[in-house]
Amino acid sequence: MVGLIVLAGIVLIVVWGIVTFNRLVSLRNEVQNSWKQIDVQLKRRHDLIPNLVSVVKGTMEFEQDTLEKVINARAKAVSAGSMQDKVNAENMLTQALGKLFAVMENYPQLKSNQNIMQLQEELTSTENRIGFARQLYNDLVAQYRIKQEVFPNNIFVAFFGVFNKEVYFEAEEEARKVPQADTSIRPKS
């Protein structure tokens, strides 16, 4: 009888172990996948910027400085290698773009241009998508970390040691603001 109970206990622990392991693995993959999703959206932004610059260039002759900053930031972001570099470069780009949008407000003739309105809509959408992708990534990382750190999972993780902690995609406070009147109130909750 005692043997039976011990056997049942061992079976239970093994089943729990398998379930936890699989859950951790699937979470890890989800985290990696969501990081790739950010990449896809960033690529989209990189592709859109040259179009915007070429359309805006003629009208905004006096703002060469702002435009150049955007172009440089884009070049840096495209060529960034390591993850931390990438995060920094993208934050720079977001800032530069935000400034460009703010300056564009001073040129009413840009607003009547159908092409620019289209591009701006596309860029707004892309900014939102990047924001959402990042939000999803951070949510998943938080889930993954919680799953690793709660008792008794932490012992299990230390025993196997195949799960590394993912880093959050952090943005500077300034960069968090999307350059648009309506979205400025976006509490972090």
Partner 1 sequence: MPFTFIDIERQKSWKIGLFFVILLLMYFFSALVIARMVFGNIFAKGVIQGAFNAIYIFIFAAMFAFVHFFLLSYDVTETIKEKLGATDLDPEDDLHKRLKNIMAEIHVATGNKRKMTCAVIPSPAMNALAANDFKGNALIAITEGLVSRLSRDQTEAVIAHEAYHILSGDCRESTLAVSLFGFSMPFMEKIMIYWGRLYLLSFILFKLGYLLNMLISREREYRADAGAVRMTRNPLALAEVLYLLSKNWRGTGLISSDLEGLCIVNPRLDELDESEGFFADLFSSHPPIEKRTEILLNMAHAGVAELEARRKQTATKSLPEETEKKYYALDALYAWQGPYAVAELAALPWFSPLTWVSDGSETTTKASQIPALRETLKTRIAPLEGKISEYPCPVCRQPLIQQHYEQIRIYPCNFCGGTLVDWDKLPRIIIRRENTWSEKIKAQACATLKENQRAYIMRRSKNNKTKAVSLQCPKCKRSMQRTFYSYVYLVAIDRCACGATWFDKDELSMLQCMIENKMAGEDFAEEERRNDRRAPAPRQ
- For binding to partner 1 (CB under 8 A), which residues are involved? 30, 33-34, 37, 41, 114, 117-118, 121-122, 124-125, 128-129, 132-133, 135-136, 140, 182-183, 185-189
What minimum distance in Å lies between the beta carbon of 127 and partner 1? 10
For residues 84 and 183, which CB has a smaller minimum distance to partner 1 in the complex?
A: 183
What minimum distance in Å lies between the beta carbon of 189 and partner 1? 6
What minimum distance in Å lies between the beta carbon of 7 and partner 1? 30
What minimum distance in Å lies between the beta carbon of 162 and partner 1? 24
**Is 148 within 8 Å of 154 (Cβ atoms)?**
yes
Q: Is the dihedral of CA 25, 140, 97, 176 positive or negative?
A: negative
For residues 79 and 125, which CB has a smaller minimum distance to partner 1 in the complex?
A: 125
CA distance 57 to 35: 33
**Contacting residues for 148 by C-beta, under 8 A, at least 6 apart:** 24, 154, 157, 163, 165
CA distance 51 to 46: 10
What minimum distance in Å lies between the beta carbon of 128 and partner 1? 5
For residues 99 and 122, which CB has a smaller minimum distance to partner 1 in the complex?
A: 122
CA distance 173 to 155: 36
Residue with tokens 């968090």: 176
Q: What does the radius of gyration of the chain's CA atoms come to, in whole angstroms?
A: 23
For residues 110 and 157, which CB has a smaller minimum distance to partner 1 in the complex?
A: 110
For residues 18 and 142, which CB has a smaller minimum distance to partner 1 in the complex?
A: 142
